Amino acid sequence: MRTQIIKRLKKHLGQIKYCGSFIILLLFTLFLTNSRAQTANLGKLLHQVEVNAPALKAANANAKIYSANRLEGLGRLFGSVDAIGQLQYFNDNRLTQPISPPINFATLPYDSRQIGYGLSLTLPLDINGQMITQLSSLAHQEHAAAYDAANVRLAVLNQAAALFHGIESISGKLSALNKQADAIRKQLKVTIVAIKVGRRAPVDSLRMESELSNIEGQIADANGTNLRLRAYLASLLNQQSFPDSVSPPANQPINLQDSPFEINNRPDIMSIEEKVLAANSGVAAAWEAFLPKAFIQGSWMENQGFNGKGKDSPFWQIGLTVDFPIWTGLTRVAHIQEADARKLAVTEQRNVLKNSANAELVSSIGDWNSSKAQFISAESSLKAASEVERIQTEQFNQGRLSVTDYLDAEAKLAFARASYYAALSHWWQADDSLRFAQGLPPIAYTNYTEISK
């Protein structure tokens, strides 16, 4: 008896140990799942895009190229100092041997081997102002490249926000379809029971199963769209995938600002303004090429080839060169014509960009107001569809409504839910587009930045 009790205790302890291990494994699996598929936050995601987006990295690298060009132009203005080293051998008898006897080695002017070292200096004198003007042009080009990178940043952030809102809309649509499918499955069970007792016709269950298959097809299509949007968003994050869960949108954008809308703070506008200034400097530099230019050159040399010991051998020289341009085959005239054409082209590009920016701003304001109106309409439709569905479900359960009418009410409710989330997502996209038209990042990016501080 005692042996049997011990065996049973060991058996129960083994089962408890097995169950405990299973529970620990299950909890660990749930932890890994939650850690991998976190709920996404748009503000945090946009900051990740800002760091990882390949297009933004390329734009920042391009801006560094123009910064290096400006430093190179500044370096040319300060001249150059070079170290010199030389080793030469001569076989000219006039330099290494006396012309006639008696031979006097002390008076030989050169040795056959010449070894020297020293320094050379070149300092430009910008008397015509061309180098300063060219440096100014390079500085404006550097600023323009920095603004271009800022514009790429805004475009990437706006694109990422639009994809995120698209995923939100799909998430809302999937939520509506799944609720519709769950409601039909629930009513299908009730209908099967009613068919058995003769309260419903068998065709009702077939009609429900057909509608359920149709909904499952829509869910599959929505899942495909969801995967496509996630793939594009992952490419902006420079990742293989974007597994984070995204909930349907909940909050609404705030009302439009009372202050006037501006486009002058847009980075693309500021970039084109800098390019116009650079073109003006290019025209000035082309005209300054007709003026004289000058530079100073000097050198100091320690030469060991005169008497073998270097005694009294160091020498130096310094000179001033002034270049007066007279004739260059009309190349300077061609440079002026090219600079004028560049200035005209970039000036017209500025006009086109400003007109386009104004039109984009007006369009964004209209889209924002239209999106708000569509959301209000979708919200009203959802309330009405919910009430109709409630009444129709009660009547269907009481046997006073056909299955067709019931399914129609469920479909309208699902459509109203999906339209509600789609309208809210589109309103957020319109809000982001309006901020982008003013040179501002999405509001989620700004809010997350303030919270992080």
Q: pLDDT digit string (tens) for 319-347?
A: 999 988 888 888 889 999 999 999 999 99
- The residues with which 318 forms a beta bridge, in sequence order, are 298
For residues 341-365, give the mean pLDDT.
Answer: 95
Q: How far apart are CA 175 and CA 401, in angstroms?
A: 26
For residues 59-78, give the mean pLDDT.
Answer: 93
**H or E element at residue 219:** helix 202-236
Please check the confidence at residue 386 and state whether its pLDDT lies above 60.
yes
- What pLDDT, on a 0 to 100 scale, did the predictor assign at position 196? 85
Q: How far apart are CA 265 and CA 267, in angstroms?
A: 6
Q: What average pLDDT is seen over the chain?
A: 84
- What pLDDT, on a 0 to 100 scale, did the predictor assign at position 313? 62
| Furthest-apart CA atoms within the chain: distance in Å | 145
**Token pair of 79 as six digits:** 């001249």
- What pLDDT, on a 0 to 100 scale, did the predictor assign at position 7? 52
CB 420 within 8 A of CB 378: yes
Residue 278 vs residue 18, higher pLDDT: 278
Q: How far apart are CA 426 and CA 441, in angstroms?
A: 17
Looking at the chain, the domain(s) classified CATH 1.20.1600.10 span 40-77+128-290+330-452
Residue 4 vs residue 30, higher pLDDT: 4
Q: How far apart are CA 156 and CA 20, in angstroms?
A: 49
Looking at the chain, the domain(s) classified CATH 2.20.200 span 79-125+293-324
**H or E element at residue 5:** helix 2-36
φ, ψ of residue 262 in degrees (nearest 5): -125, 150
Q: How many helices (H) and strands (E) does the chain have?
A: 10, 4
- What pLDDT, on a 0 to 100 scale, did the predictor assign at position 17? 46
Q: What is the band of 68 on the pLDDT scale with cuts at 50, 70, 90?
A: very high
Q: How far apart are CA 165 and CA 154, in angstroms?
A: 16
Q: What is the band of 24 on the pLDDT scale with cuts at 50, 70, 90?
A: very low
The CATH code of domain 40-77+128-290+330-452 reads 1.20.1600.10
Encode pLDDT of 82-108 as tens digits. 998 888 776 655 554 555 555 555 545
- What pLDDT, on a 0 to 100 scale, did the predictor assign at position 144? 96
Q: Which of 212-216, 267-271, 406-410 has the highest mean pLDDT?
A: 267-271
What percent of the chain shows pLDDT beyond 90? 54
Please check the confidence at residue 156 and state whether its pLDDT lies above 90.
yes
Please check the confidence at residue 395 and state whether its pLDDT lies above 70.
yes
The pTM score is: 0.80
Q: What is the band of 392 on the pLDDT scale with cuts at 50, 70, 90?
A: confident
For residues 108-130, give the mean pLDDT.
Answer: 81
**For residue 126, how far is the Cα from the chain centroid?**
41
CB 346 within 8 A of CB 272: yes
CATH class for domain 79-125+293-324?
mainly beta
Encode pLDDT of 175-200 as tens digits. 999 988 898 888 888 888 888 887 77
Report the relative pairing of strands 80-89 and 113-125 from DSSP bridges: antiparallel
φ, ψ of residue 23 in degrees (nearest 5): -65, -45
Please check the confidence at residue 437 and state whether its pLDDT lies above 70.
yes
Nearest to 166 by CA among 249, 234, 290: 249
Q: How far apart are CA 34 and CA 26, in angstroms?
A: 12
- What pLDDT, on a 0 to 100 scale, did the predictor assign at position 92? 58
Q: What is the band of 135 on the pLDDT scale with cuts at 50, 70, 90?
A: very high
